[in-house]
Amino acid sequence: MSHPLFERHQELLQQASEAIEQRGYWSAYTEMPSPKAYGETANDDGKAAYEARLEKPFGLTQVATVGQVGNEMSPYGFKLGVSYPKADLDQLFAAVKAASPAWRKAGPEAWVGVSMEILQRLNRRSVEIAYAVMHTTGQAFMMSFQAGGPHAQDRGLEAVAYAWQAMRKIPAHAFWEKPQGKNPPLKMEKHYSIVPRGIGLVVGCCTFPTWNSYPGLFASLATGNAVVIKPHPGAILPLAITVQVAREVLAEAGFDPNIVTLAAHEQDDDTATQLALRPEVRLIDFTGSSKNGDWLEQHARQAQVFTEKAGVNQIIIDSTDDFQGMVRNIAFSLTLYSGQMCTAPQNIYIPKDGIATAEGHVSFDQVVAAIGESIARLTGDPAKAVELLGAIQNTGVLARIDAARAIGTVVIDSKPLQHPLFPAACIRTPLLMKVAEAEQGKVMQEFFGPVSFAVACADMTHCIALAEQAARTHGALTLSVYSSNSAVIAAARDAAEEAGVALSINLTGGVFVNQSAAFSDFHGTGANPAANACLSDTAFVAGRFRVVQTRAHV
């Protein structure tokens, strides 16, 4: 029997399934916080809902609670003052285990229907979540709304659609008949049950807590697995709201809400390690540092581990027919959210003898200077700049800015700006350094934040080889090339395929290398150290369930 929530959302599920097959533009959720889409009072109501959560315990009733934790600091300069349930892990996993059999027996249509209902309700809370994202990550409000709300929800729906496509290919039963010549045929009836892998652990990050967590959360939930969400201690609130909504939907649908639980913890304790090594945890989704991601891959051997880690994203500049468009696009990419994105570019490879443009030859120094001047224009007006830069999420970013100044020559220095509404906000403009060919080895590591290096290369062959080697060795999620030479573009494409990194070609308009569109772009490839799987394909969900058959003679 079909589940009522599956029937409610079946049309949207069909649209999402078609979108991932066609891979054109499609979005289920409106990305602009317009009154028409979200209601005339949506902004005021969402902001009020967020503010009502401050300076008090978060309203989440959860089993196994043995205290309160939480010490989030807004990058805009104030403490949130929210505390969250601290769980006794043994009791928590016992409760999850008790909840799981009924959820497992409910079957794929229930799993998918509940998942889609959760996404729909999260969409209604997009403004509230946006303020929670803004004041935990430092993103400006518009990015917080889009990336933290509709875009994250699209990524969750994408995972549900992949899960449904993978599961619906498994028939519920089959009749098997094998001829035996003159003897009666052998006849069997076979039944196939989709069985979840086990408990999924989602390890949240501090810069994109929902956008990076929703694929794993909904891929596991839609394939019948219970999910424990462990937020980063600096960005708990957006995922706490997510857990609260999920538990409400589960309870209303007649399931034990402990199918989705929150495991908040204090900074620098060992909760993450304890969770990762629990024998009950069979799936782990992680976004964060290479050190922690590598540890999970090496030690959490009982689980299927999906990681997105550090990488060195790169730009290759050979030539261009639109010099100003190229410079503006690169500058915007370096400035957006102060480079605190897993897809943000860092190293820019330029031939030391310069590049060809429609206006003539431009030297290496002139190319780099033009990028710096464009950054200066974008950040010249503090009131406008803060809506692009956002705020710095943690002090580690500031340390990396200081360390980068020791490499090469400063083209444009990082400087503090004052936010007109939040005077205590930690705002920094991008740092752009010029690096000689002999020093290129010093920038073959991730400087996460508003840090970039223009690297002088011997020639275009050297530029492409350097980019390929860096992606292979250190990992990368994005690679961009600018060239009006088809042979160079072909060579860059070959290098990208060999290194397993997504390539963007001649971006000069309103699309930036930082951006990854659900239902169209494949986020990560699993082919270099930055990610051990593509987080936007069938393989991402297929390992989250198993098929168990029963058979009997007819």
Between CA 77 and CA 75 the distance in angstroms is 5
Q: Is 247 helix (H, G, I), strand (E, B) or coil?
A: helix
Helix axes 214-221, 108-124, angle to 10 degrees: 150
Q: Which residues pair with 74 in a beta bridge?
A: 78
Instruction: Write out the two tokens for 392.
Output: 């710095």
pLDDT range class, residue 271, cuts 50, 70, 90: very high
Nearest one of 460, 461, 464 to 472, comparing CA atoms: 464
Asked whether 350 and 371 are in contact (CB, 8 A), the reply is no
Between CA 18 and CA 28 the distance in angstroms is 12
Q: State what percent of residues in the chain have pLDDT above 70.
A: 100
For 519-536, what is each residue's pLDDT tens digit? 999 999 999 999 999 988
Q: Is the pLDDT of residue 492 over 90?
A: yes
Q: Per-residue b/e over 463-479, b at no fewer than 16 CB within 10 Å? A: bbbbbbebbbebbbbbb
User: For tokens 């969770």, what's the residue?
Assistant: 275
Strand order in the sheet with 319-320: 319-320, 355-357, 360-362
Asked whether 174 and 203 are in contact (CB, 8 A), the reply is no
What per-residue confidence (pLDDT) applies to 168? 96
**Mean pLDDT, residues 230-255 taken together:** 98
Q: Where are the domains of the chain?
A: 13-310+544-553, 314-505
CA angle 380, 382, 388 (to 5 degrees): 90
* All residues at 6 or more sequence positions from 25 whose CB lies less than 8 Å from its CB, including other chains: 517, 519, 520
User: What is the CATH superfamily name and number for domain 314-505?
Assistant: Aldehyde Dehydrogenase; Chain A, domain 2 (3.40.309.10)
| Average pLDDT value over all residues in the chain | 97
pLDDT range class, residue 2, cuts 50, 70, 90: confident
Q: Which residues pair with 351 in a beta bridge?
A: 457
Between CA 55 and CA 52 the distance in angstroms is 8
What per-residue confidence (pLDDT) applies to 475? 96
Q: Is the pLDDT of residue 1 over 70?
A: no
DSSP state of 64: T
**How many residues are given for the chain?**
554
Instruction: Write out the two tokens for 348.
Output: 């820019």
For 415-448, what is each residue's pLDDT tens digit? 999 999 999 999 999 999 999 988 999 999 999 9
Residue 294's φ and ψ, nearest 5 degrees, are -65, -40
| CATH architecture, domain 13-310+544-553 | 3-Layer(aba) Sandwich (3.40)
* All residues at 6 or more sequence positions from 324 whose CB lies less than 8 Å from its CB, including other chains: none
**Mean pLDDT, residues 82-91 taken together:** 98
**Mean pLDDT, residues 106-121 taken together:** 98
Q: Is the pLDDT of residue 295 over 80?
A: yes
Instruction: Write out the two tokens for 270.
Output: 């060992």
Asked whether 32 and 142 are in contact (CB, 8 A), the reply is no
